[in-house]
Amino acid sequence: MRHVDFAPLYRSTVGFDRLFSKLDSVSGVENAQSYPPYNIERTGEHAYRITMAVAGFDGNELNIELRENVLTVKGERSETENSNAQYLHRGIAARTFERRFQLAEHVEVKGANLKNGLLHIDLERVIPEAMKPRRIEIATAGNANKVLDTAAA
């Protein structure tokens, strides 16, 4: 991936330095994680789902935590079962992991479930009423009262 220089944008924007530093950090190949594989899909207008392939993990070996818009999924698998087994080939990863997802503002975790080795985390963006668009009537000479309509235009 090519490196993008955001320096010219720093001169013409205010308050976006956090965004540019995040873009810089995700563009680095050395920061790329490959385990466990995951998908992020849009399931509705304001609904999203993260699906992670966590084969071999039980629900009690997984931990999902949301703190300051960072969703952290941790998996710690105990190797007590079949500890005396001798593997000829071991292709199913059984290592611990920690995967972090930076969530946008007003994104809430609605639930999580584990089925067939896939962990599904459902997210929804809930826009507060104060941030929703509202229609404002323009007063004319015949209509002196200003009317505010909170419904989206």
- pLDDT digits over 40-51, tens only? 999 988 899 999
Domain architecture of the chain: domains with CATH = 1-32 (no CATH), 33-127 (2.60.40.790)
For residue 107, what are the contacts with CB-CB under 8 A and spacing of at least 6? 48, 69, 123, 124, 125, 126
pLDDT at 99: 92
Neighbours of 143 (CB within 10 A): 10
H-helix or E-strand spanning residue 32: none
Does this model's pTM top 0.75? My answer is no
* Exposure letters 34-49 (e unless 16+ CB within 10 A, then b): eebebeeeeeeeeebb
Yes or no: say if 62 and 75 are a contact pair by the CB < 8 Å rule: yes
pLDDT mean over 16-35: 63
Cα separations in angstroms, 141 against 137, 138, 144, 145: 13, 10, 6, 10
- pLDDT digits over 67-121, tens only? 988 899 999 977 655 567 788 887 877 788 999 998 888 889 999 999 998 999 9
Pairing, β 38-42 against β 47-53:
antiparallel
For residues 33 and 112, the model is more confident at: 112
pLDDT at 29: 47
Indicate the average pLDDT of the chain. Answer: 79
Q: Which letter does DSSP use for residue 11 in this model?
A: H
pLDDT at 30: 47
